[in-house]
Structure 1
């Protein structure tokens, strides 16, 4: 039997006071179940700005969209702001079809104010 390796990951760091969350891989129902508590905690910790970077997301479904919406709601409840770095065409299409694009403040790249492209 092989060892299960998730098709997703979350990397978190603080850059110039902002909490930056880089999501990678397939953000589906399994990812939502595993990442939701982590993202909820990070969103609650972010008193000013939370940046969610979707550039390395290869797939997102309704569960992934729900994950983003929950993070947004948590950040707003705490008085912070959420910024989302756009993902690829597949991710953008799902966001557009779900009708939630206006719910987020979108960035076309990693913010220069946070040091440009994250490592």
Structure 2
């Protein structure tokens, strides 16, 4: 039974908050084909002038190309509107994926949420 639980993907949850005009999304679980739309909807910045977003990724257990595509699409939209997107505290597996495909050279990645909010 424990092995079955370990193999089941974690449901994605996104909690949104605001700090000093910065939209902070705390993401937990797996970001994949089945959950990518949840993240995409949470990152929607339609109509926001100069959006500033930090995605707290310390509880993301898995991310595949779906998550990468969502982040890249959001980055393009946000920067075109004169804003920015930062990633905070990606887990080791997620950080490895970000480095492997070079996303960490495009989207600012920070070791902690505090660092992402203040730098």
Partner of 2:3: none
Shift of 1:101: 1.6
The structure-2 alpha-carbon separation of the partners of 1:43 and 1:71, relative to structure 1 and needing over 3 Å to count, comes to: farther
Q: Is 1:11 matched with 2:12?
A: no
Q: Aligned partners of 2:35 and 2:46: how far apart in 1? A: 17
- Most deviating of 45-54 and 85-94: 45-54
Question: Could you say what the CA RMSD is over the residues aligned between the two structures, in angstroms?
Answer: 2.4
1:28 to 29, 32, 36: 32
Partner of 1:110: 113
The structure-2 alpha-carbon separation of the partners of 1:11 and 1:106, relative to structure 1 and needing over 3 Å to count, comes to: same
Point out where structure 1 has 5 or more consecutive residues left out of the alignment.
Answer: 1-5
Aligned residue for 2:113, secondary structure, equals: coil
Give the aligned length. Answer: 110
Aligned residue for 1:45, secondary structure, equals: coil
Q: Aligned partners of 1:18 and 1:103: how far apart in 2? A: 19
The structure-2 alpha-carbon separation of the partners of 1:51 and 1:15, relative to structure 1 and needing over 3 Å to count, comes to: same
Shift of 1:48: 4.4
Q: Is 1:82 matched with 2:85?
A: yes
Contact 1:54 1:85 in 2 (8 A): yes
Q: Aligned partners of 1:26 and 1:106: how far apart in 2? A: 19
